[in-house]
Amino acid sequence: MTALDVGAKGAKVAGVAKKRRPKNSILNALPWIGPALALIIAVVVWPAIELIKISLTKITSAGALEGFNGLENYRMLFENPDLGAIVMRTLVWVGSVVSITVILSMPLAQLINQNFPGRKFVRWAMIVPWAASVVMTSIVWKWMLELTSGEFNLTLRQLGLQDQPVDWLRDPRYSFFVLIWVAVFVSIPFTTFVLLAGLQSIPNDIIEAAQVDGATSWQIYRGIKFPLLRNALLIATIINLINVFNSFPIIWALTRGGPGYNTDTTITFAYKMAFVEYNMGPSTALGVINFAFIMLIVLIYLRVTKATRGQL
Amino acid sequence: MQKLEEKVAKKAKRNFSMTPKKAATMISAYSIGLFFIYPYINMILTSLKPHGELYSTPTKRLPVDWQFNNYLDVWSKAPIADFLKASIVVSIFATLLVLLVSVPAAYYIARNRFKGRAAFLLLVLATQMFSPTALIIGIFREVKFFGLLDTWLALIIVNAGFNLAFAVWLLSGFFASVPVEIEEAAMVDGCTKFSALRRIVLPVTLPGLVTAVIFTFVATWNEFTVALTIMSSPQRQPISTGITTFVGQYDVAWEYLFTTTAIAIVPVVILFISIEKYLVGGLTAGSVK
């Protein structure tokens, strides 16, 4: 309705007359939103453009630029024999961590939405992994997964489930699954709280009405709560997709992507190429692909939230 | 109305009667709560062990000889005071910078419709979705270009940039909840727009400001990837990357490593818990409720 149309007309008028700016000109907004805009450009837009530019440039291991290079960096990247496995692993990583997290968070949100004594403390306990530094949490898990004295092996031993201690982080059979476990552990709290907020926004009277009509709690969950949770679920899933894809500290702290490239994702692989192996060219190409992937999910997110919010 | 509901709820709590279903709920909820803090309990217990007990057989969960002294000795084992100072300075200034740029922006978008408003909001929302990780090479080169490698200033600016979205979204919601009429009345009474903002609007939106402050502080405190990439001198590292100096050593001093992480984690957890109520709203940009 046209605040926008009026704005456009107003801007035209301002362009001709130049005497009085219309109230809704962006020029009036600039002193207010300008600093935020400048900061976003400096910290997000500039590095993104820089990354794309470098990916098309010949770059030495020391970081010196030696002119336009076409798609040479991308060709070098795609010729890397390890890339295929790393891309596959990244898809498995994002898919499994996000789906396990969301599936486990649904009953958890339902649980901490119940009324019981000490609920506050349970909620506080569940916030801890969300608040604590991910790299520190990962280091704690590194200790708990330690070969001889770690809590993990100790518990399995005491339960009689293990004869020989397992070196969870170095054994290539287990290391990737252990990373998934830690990633799920740090992702559940945020997801559960988003779903909890969704549950809390469901008006009580709908549920009471259903109870009066004799619905069981499972029926209420299936028929009323779950459909109303759809938005929260969608948002939580998309934000998790991005967070898990971007997840660098867990892998870096626990395995550095090793042994070899055995637990690398495209994010840690790009980092490793750039800052450990000084193989800048292909690293920037992979960086651009990573960036494009996130951009795609962001666009989906914008569509979804726009739809749910009505209009911005 | 709200009060009445609370009263009823309290009464229900008092007349709490244990049914098997309730008991099952409680047991599972407590176990799950324990599961999520267990690693941190393990961390604190390990931080209280003498080094000799770390790998003792049979493994014991509790320290035999409780070493509360670890919390005093650790300060001389690694430059933790420097790490903490770096983290505190960077987090405080990043938070101030976020407030400085997000309060006016949030206020203006809550109060005014202007051309480009939707585009600006989309840009902010997109920023919130990006973490520095994917852009790290670009960030590194930009920081280098400005000659700011290994400086706190670079950390402050980058952290502020990636966290301002949360503050803008959360605060604009709070500002929008203050009726324009109150503000206009103040302006009629002779307040300028800025003093109306300061005297009328800011006090009402205080919870939002506190949440934005704590969230930015904690997020900056925990940031790892950028600090790892652009900070090189050991004495300027923040705590999140500083602790990795313990891990690199051949015989990891887990007890001191964990005294350090405990010192770094406990305060921010308390801060974070204090803003629980508002966290989800800011992070999901009002799309859940």
- pLDDT, one tens digit per residue, over A210-230 is 888 888 888 888 888 888 888
Q: What's the domain range around B54?
A: 20-68
- Nearest chain A Cα distance for residue B189, angstroms: 23
- Tell me the nearest-neighbour CA distance from B52 into chain A, angstroms: 12
Same-domain status, B93 and B177: yes
- Range in A103-117, B4-18, B195-209 with the lowest mean pLDDT: B4-18
Residues of chain B found within 8 Å of residue A242, distances taken between Cβ atoms: 129, 131
Alpha carbon A302 to chain centroid, angstroms: 15
Domain termination residue (choose one: B12, B33, B68): B68
Residue A65 placed within a domain: no
Q: Are residues B59 and B100 in the same domain?
A: no
Among A41, A43, A191, most B C-beta atoms within 10 A, so best to mutate, is: A43
Query: Does residue A8 form part of some domain?
Result: no
- Within this chain, do residues B183 and B261 fall inside the same structural domain, yes or no? yes
In angstroms, the CA B271 to CA B150 distance is 28
List Cα–Cα distances, A108 to A104, B75, B152, in angstroms: 7, 40, 40
**Is the domain of B148 the same as that of B224?**
yes
Contact A32 B133 (CB under 8 A): no
Q: Which positions in chain B touch A126 (Cβ < 8 Å)? A: 32-33, 36
For residue B74, being part of any structural domain is answered with: no
Q: Which of A35, A151, A291 sits opposite B101 (nearest CB)?
A: A35
- Is residue B73, in this structure, part of any structural domain at all? no
CB contact under 8 A, A36 and B28: no
What are A214-223's contacts with CB under 8 Å, separation 24+?
A221/A110
ipTM computed for the complex: 0.87
The residues with which A57 forms a beta bridge, in sequence order, are A68
Which of A2, A37, A40, A246 to mutate to probe the B interface, most B CBs <10 Å?
A40
Chain-chain contact of B37 with A35 (C-beta, under 8 angstroms): no
Let me know if residue A178 belongs to a domain.
yes
pLDDT band at B50 (very low <50, low <70, confident <90, very high): very high
Nearest CA in chain B to A297: B129
What are the chain A neighbours of B55 within 8 Å (beta carbons)? 148-149
Q: Which of A36, A108, A137 sits opposite B39 (nearest CB)?
A: A137
A122–B133 CB contact, under 8 Å: no
pLDDT band at A251, cuts 50/70/90? very high
B256 and B136 in one domain?
A: yes
Q: By the 8 A CB rule, do A261 and A284 touch?
A: no
From A258's Cα to the closest Cα of chain B, the distance in A is 15
At residue A68, φ and ψ (nearest 5 deg) are: -60, 140
Within this chain, do residues B39 and B107 fall inside the same structural domain, yes or no? Answer: no
pLDDT for A312 equals 43
Minimal Cβ distance to B222: which of A37, A134, A189 = A134
Encode pLDDT of B161-220 as tens digits: 999 998 998 888 888 888 888 878 877 887 787 787 778 877 888 888 998 999 999 999
Q: Based on the domain organization, do B89 and B173 belong to the same domain?
A: yes
Of residues A115, A144, A149, nearest to B39 (C-beta): A144
What pLDDT, on a 0 to 100 scale, did the predictor assign at position A291? 92
> Does one domain contain both B29 and B165?
no
Q: Are residues B134 and B25 in the same domain?
A: no
Residue A261 belongs to domain with CATH number: 1.10.3720.10
Same domain, B99 and B187: yes
Q: Looking at the structure, do residues B130 and B194 belong to the same domain, yes or no?
A: yes
**pLDDT at position A310 over 50:** no
Q: Quick one: pLDDT band at residue A78, thresholds 50, 70, 90?
A: very high
Q: Which two tokens stand for residue B186?
A: 């103040």
Q: How far is A173 from chain B (nearest CA, A)?
A: 24
B233 and B127, same structural domain?
A: yes
DSSP chain B: -HHHHHHHHHHHHHT----HHHHHHHHHHHHHHHHHHHHHHHHHHHHTS-GGGTT-SS--SS-SS--TTHHHHHHHHS-HHHHHHHHHHHHHHHHHHHHHHHHHHHHHHHH---TTHHHHHHHHHHHHH--TTTTHHHHHHHHHHTT-TT-HHHHHHHHHHHHHHHHHHHHHHHHHTS-HHHHHHHHHTT--HHHHIIIIIHHHTHHHHHHHHHHHHHHHHH--HHHHHH--SGGG--HHHHTHHHHHSSS--HHHHHHHHHHHHHHHHHHHHHTHHHHHHHHTTT---
The verdict on residue A125 lying in a domain is: yes
For residue B133, tell me if it sits in a domain.
yes
Residue B146 has pLDDT above 70, yes or no: yes
Interchain pair B137, A274: CB under 8 A: yes
- Residue B260 falls within a domain, yes or no? yes
A301: enclosing H helix or E strand: helix A280-309
Q: Provide, as residue numbers in chain B, all residues whose Cβ is less than 8 Å from the Cβ of A143.
A: 42-43, 46, 254, 258
CATH number of the domain bearing residue B100:
1.10.3720.10
Contact assignment for A239 to B46 by CB distance below 8 Å:
no
Q: What rounded mean pLDDT belongs to chain B? A: 86
Our CA angle for B131, B128, A267, nearest 5°, is 20
* pLDDT(A2) > 60: no
Range of the domain at A177: 81-309
Best of A140, A235, A280 to substitute, by most chain B Cβ atoms within 10 angstroms, is A140
In a domain, A6, yes or no: no
Count other Cβ atoms within 10 Å, centred on residue B145: 11
Chain A and chain B share a number of CB contacts under 8 A equal to 311
How far off is chain B from A311, nearest CA to CA, in Å?
9
Query: Which amino acid, one-letter code, is at A259?
Result: P
When pLDDT is cut at 50, 70 and 90, the band that residue A1 belongs to is very low
Residue B224 has pLDDT above 50, yes or no: yes
Asked if B102 lies within 8 A of A36 by C-beta distance, the reply is yes
Q: In the predicted model, what is the mean pLDDT of chain A? A: 86
In-domain check, residue B270: yes
The answer to the question of residue B91 being in a domain is yes
| Residue at A184 is within a domain | yes
Q: Where residue B285 falls among pLDDT bands split at 50, 70, 90?
A: low
pLDDT at A25: 80
Comparing CA positions, the residue from B109, B161, B58, B138 lying closest to residue B285 is B109
Please give the tally of structural domains in chain B.
Answer: 2
